[in-house]
Homo-oligomer: A and B are copies of this chain.
């Protein structure tokens, strides 16, 4: 790594002062066209790039956003991350990424580290356990996907989305519908379960059924769905004719178990997922799902942080989901 060319090198070679060079670099208006051209010329010649550390030290900020996400192996988060980085880049920002690995207690540490690095804000997708988040440095923070009280929150309307999914299943004629929920400590799981219950509770009561009988909790990943489906699709007693899974990954796990059990989808079992991750459209059969407007969520969170607006309660944004009807649902036999 050769010694960087500094603003002084540029100033000397261009025969101007460092102040002028700085003004040119930062687009300050009061520089004559001639000097500006000369400076720009020298900058190009020398390949000068302002040192970000020096700028950061001086300005107290450095056009960087932090993103803390549980696990990029979850395709939903990976897609979210991709969208955030894209938007940030468009606006001239860089992104520091840190994964919390679903460890709620590591989040504070991660955020503190980002604060130390002078990020202008951080997008946090809290781990399932996180009930509150320590933010002693007062970093600008936007919470995405999973709500944390007291912080601006950007997410899909999980509950309404789940309601749509349940209603769709009901409209198809299903009555025995199981809900494959997420971890019990998960905000998202609770919301989606609530949406499901908004639709199902009255019907269940009418039929004299215990709501608990049609709910099962499992991790949001493929494996969780696959395992839970083993219980759901057991041969004892009446099987559900439809399953609403709280994530596409779970739903794909359900598809997998159904395949193993020779239960054809959608003929003998309808399945609805949630999220609309990329593979949902590729599995066989294609997954019907409640789609989250991922790009809108990512852009909103990013813009909120970059915009410099006050991050109060009013900054929260909830986006509606949309059902994407594909091949995993049909009326019950």
Contacts and interface: CB of A to CB of B under 8 A. Distances in A.
B86 A138 contact: no
A45 interface: no
Contacts of A47: 136-137
Interface in A38-73: 47, 49-54, 56-57, 62, 64, 67, 71-73
Nearest to A113: B94
B81 A49 contact: no
Contact of A282 (B97, B114, B226, B284): B226
A222 interface: yes
Contact of A89 (B56, B98, B282): B98
A159 interface: no
A50 B278 contact: no
B99 A1 contact: no
A264 to B, nearest CB: 11
Contacts of A139: 1
A117 B115 CA distance: 16
A260 interface: yes
Nearest to A283: B283
A224 B255 CA distance: 23
Nearest to A221: B278
A149 interface: no
Interface in A94-136: 94-99, 101, 112-118, 136
**Ordered nearest first, which 7 A-B pairs have the shortest CB separation?**
A53-B56, A78-B78, A259-B284, A72-B82, A53-B57, A52-B117, A222-B282
Interface of A: 1-2, 4, 47, 49-54, 56-57, 62, 64, 67, 71-73, 75, 78-79, 81-82, 85-86, 89, 94-99, 101, 112-118, 136-140, 222-223, 226, 252-253, 255-256, 259-260, 278-279, 281-285
Given A47-B137, A53-B53, A255-B284, 5 more contacts: A72-B85, A81-B97, A86-B101, A252-B283, A256-B283
25 contacts: A1-B138, A1-B139, A2-B138, A49-B112, A51-B57, A51-B116, A52-B56, A52-B118, A53-B118, A57-B57, A64-B117, A72-B78, A72-B81, A73-B75, A75-B78, A81-B97, A89-B99, A94-B114, A96-B97, A97-B97, A222-B278, A252-B282, A259-B284, A259-B285, A279-B279
